[in-house]
Structure 1
Amino acid sequence: MAKLTGWRKVASVLWRAPENPQIFGAFECDARPLSAFIEAARAAGHHVTPTHLVGRAVAHALHEMPDLNTRFVAGRAVPRRTVDIFFITAVEADRDLSGVKVERADRKSAVALAHELADRARGLKEGRDPIFTRTKRTGNALPRPILRQLLRFSSWWTGNLDRDFPALGLERSPFGSAMVTSVGMFGIPMGFAPLASFFKVPLMVLAGEIADKPVAVDGRVEVRPSISITATIDHRVADGWHISQVLRHFRAYMADPQAFELEMPAPAAGAAGRAGLESSAPAPGSPDGGGTSGT
């Protein structure tokens, strides 16, 4: 048995044994299919962004690989009832963060998702969301030790037990099945987002900036627009095999978004238009869905 000396001894004093189950992954995608879909959507009057398509790709992957769409209860992995994606959103002139959970994101078209997210994010930024306002006011007023305990209890109540918490204005599973965020609009090429313990989700996906990069194509080097994708994953829920399956379905969507969407709908007008957008996504297993069973 060797005695620890030098830096190894110093390191053993500085840090405790690792307890964090987070694992990380990164890769780059050809951004041309995303750009083509976004261009077509905007020509039809819909403000779709790369973040919306990344969120749809995550929802599709979780639909196809439901083993990751789970929550922990008393040491058991319990399947979630729906595939919901939480999009992190900047508020208060981009000085603070909040977010919007889009429910049944695997059953909504990218355009419907973009409209819903835009409408609800606008309400957050303009201070018109009473639940967010009340929750933020409560958080700001509580002392840090009390807030820490409240967050631990509320995350267990809403995340593990899947119950509403009216006292704090929180609904069940407030962060959904997975979380999606982006730093591309800030000109940041790549980054990794942390999985906080109170999120109670197994997956956080971050989209970076779309930029021209050299890639190998048939033995030659070409310059193509690429987007970096990083993921933070809870190793308690997923191992290499699970991640490989999710990645396969995620990449399939990113390589050809249009194959998983119906014909681009006309610009929506009011609630009726948005309802039409929601119904434009093909049902799982339909011939229009693309991939193995479609979304």
Structure 2
Amino acid sequence: MGHIPLGKTQPLTTYRKIAIASWRAPRDPSTYSWFDLPIEEAEAFLNAYPSDPKPSLTYFIGKIVANCLEEHPALNHLLRQDRLYQRARTDVFITTLLNTPVGRDLSGFVLRDVPNQSLGEVAQSAENALALLRAGKDEDTEKIDRITSRLPIWMLRITMWLEDFFHYTLNVSLRKFGMPDDRFGSVMISNFGVLGIENALVPLSPYCRCPLILGVGRPRPLPIARKGEVVVAECVTISFTFDHRYADGVHGGQMMRRFQKIFLNPKRFPEVFDTPKAKESEQPTTAALS
């Protein structure tokens, strides 16, 4: 049993096989898209959401994209040995900027099985993980930092190649060597808006097999069309980077349309934020009660 829970292998279309054969992990298969979305409905929803701590825009986006991957599982795969395996779980990695003795460093934490948590539970899990990171008490991050600090770059490059081969190609856990299991999950979210950046396209990372990255910019006023008139509204740019070996434009378009619908009117989708599927399945059915 591998350390990453996986379902059965998926059938490959002609183009999918050509794409896998054409590109190696990931150097140039990036496909970029983005849109500017007004945030007034999202902010009102988050301000009224009954949880402590209050969920941030980043956690809100994490819940939405996790639901989109559940609804469109063609985007939730792992590529290993030139085959696409559908992931049995949807995990979300959130990047975090930390102050360290050698300067500001990019790190992050992973939230497991996000569709089966409510938005409040996601916010609590994320805040707990963030507190550990900032206190220097996150075991996985500490292990990675120790290994990285001891190795010269040429040896680190070899170590990363070996880690990638054993971890993903062979699906073997490397925890006994200090490497965390499935560190990055199904999707990564980078909120560069906290740095004052309004928009950016985030590249795929060659050291992980995460095929989807979302970038979140700094909100600012933009002209938008509303009921046939141009008005100014507070908007946020959300960018999407897809690995083209995993999916085509049709898959990305379907996911982005669903993402946009939920983001613009979250009150219409309470099941995304409050009714995890796992908990629904635990409820007795009418037939069972009878």
Fold shared by both chains (TM-score > 0.5): yes
Is 1:281 matched up with 2:289? no
Tell me, what secondary structure is at the counterpart of 1:224?
Answer: strand
Of 142, 150, 170, the residue aligned with 2:151 is: 142
After superposition, residues 149-160 of structure 1 pair within 5 angstroms as 149-160=158-169
Which is further off, 128-137 or 143-152? 128-137
Could you tell me whether the CA contact under 8 Å between 2:223 and 2:232 is conserved in 1? yes
Is 1:77 matched up with 2:63? no
Is 1:199 matched up with 2:173? no
TM-score normalised by the chain length of structure 1 = 0.79
Is 1:104 matched up with 2:104? no
Q: Report the counterpart of residue 226 of structure 2 in structure 1.
A: 217
Q: Deviations over 1:44-73 (max 9, x none)?
A: 542311111111111011000001111112
Instruction: Output the CA distance in 2 between the equivalents of 1:64 and 1:285.
Output: 17
Which amino acid in structure 2 is aligned with residue 137 of structure 1?
Answer: R
Q: Report the counterpart of residue 276 of structure 1 in structure 2.
A: none
Could you tell me whether the CA contact under 8 Å between 2:200 and 2:239 is conserved in 1? yes
Could you tell me whether the CA contact under 8 Å between 1:132 and 1:169 is conserved in 2? no
Q: Report the counterpart of residue 183 of structure 2 in structure 1.
A: 174
Of 107, 126, 130, the residue aligned with 1:121 is: 130
- Could you say if the C-alpha distance between residues 162 and 263 of structure 1 is closer, same or farther in structure 2, counting changes exceeding 3 Å? closer
Instruction: Output the CA distance in 1 between the equivalents of 2:185 and 2:252.
Output: 19
Which amino acid in structure 1 is aligned with residue 77 of structure 2?
Answer: T
- Could you say if the C-alpha distance between residues 91 and 216 of structure 1 is closer, same or farther in structure 2, counting changes exceeding 3 Å? same
Q: Deviations over 1:9-68 (max 9, x none)?
A: xxxxxxxxxx61111111111211211122113x75423111111111110110000011
Q: Deviations over 1:107-136 (max 9, x none)?
A: 212221111011011101111122321220
Q: Deviations over 1:186-209 (max 9, x none)?
A: 221111211112210110001111
- Could you say if the C-alpha distance between residues 211 and 236 of structure 1 is closer, same or farther in structure 2, counting changes exceeding 3 Å? same
Instruction: Output the CA distance in 2 between the equivalents of 1:71 and 1:242.
Output: 16
Is 1:59 matched up with 2:53? no
Shift of 1:262: 6.1
Instruction: Output the CA distance in 1 between the equivalents of 2:220 and 2:77.
Output: 34
Q: Deviations over 1:165-200 (max 9, x none)?
A: 124422332110010110122221111211112210
Tell me, what secondary structure is at the counterpart of 1:236?
Answer: coil
- Could you say if the C-alpha distance between residues 40 and 162 of structure 1 is closer, same or farther in structure 2, counting changes exceeding 3 Å? farther
Could you tell me whether the CA contact under 8 Å between 1:28 and 1:228 is conserved in 2? yes
Tell me, what secondary structure is at the counterpart of 1:29?
Answer: strand
Tell me, what secondary structure is at the counterpart of 1:172?
Answer: coil
Percent identity, aligned pairs only, is: 27
**Residue segments in structure 1 that go unaligned for 5+ positions in a row:** 1-18, 265-279, 287-295
Shift of 1:162: 3.4
Cα RMSD between the aligned structures? 2.3
Could you tell me whether the CA contact under 8 Å between 2:221 and 2:233 is conserved in 1? yes
Instruction: Output the CA distance in 2 between the equivalents of 1:285 and 1:243.
Output: 28
Instruction: Output the CA distance in 1 between the equivalents of 2:230 and 2:46.
Output: 26
Which amino acid in structure 2 is aligned with residue 24 of structure 1?
Answer: Y
Could you tell me whether the CA contact under 8 Å between 2:140 and 2:180 is conserved in 1? no
The structure with the larger Rg is 1
Which amino acid in structure 1 is aligned with residue 78 of structure 2?
Answer: R
Shift of 1:160: 3.6
Tell me, what secondary structure is at the counterpart of 1:251?
Answer: helix
Tell me, what secondary structure is at the counterpart of 1:199?
Answer: coil
Q: Report the counterpart of residue 36 of structure 1 in structure 2.
A: 44
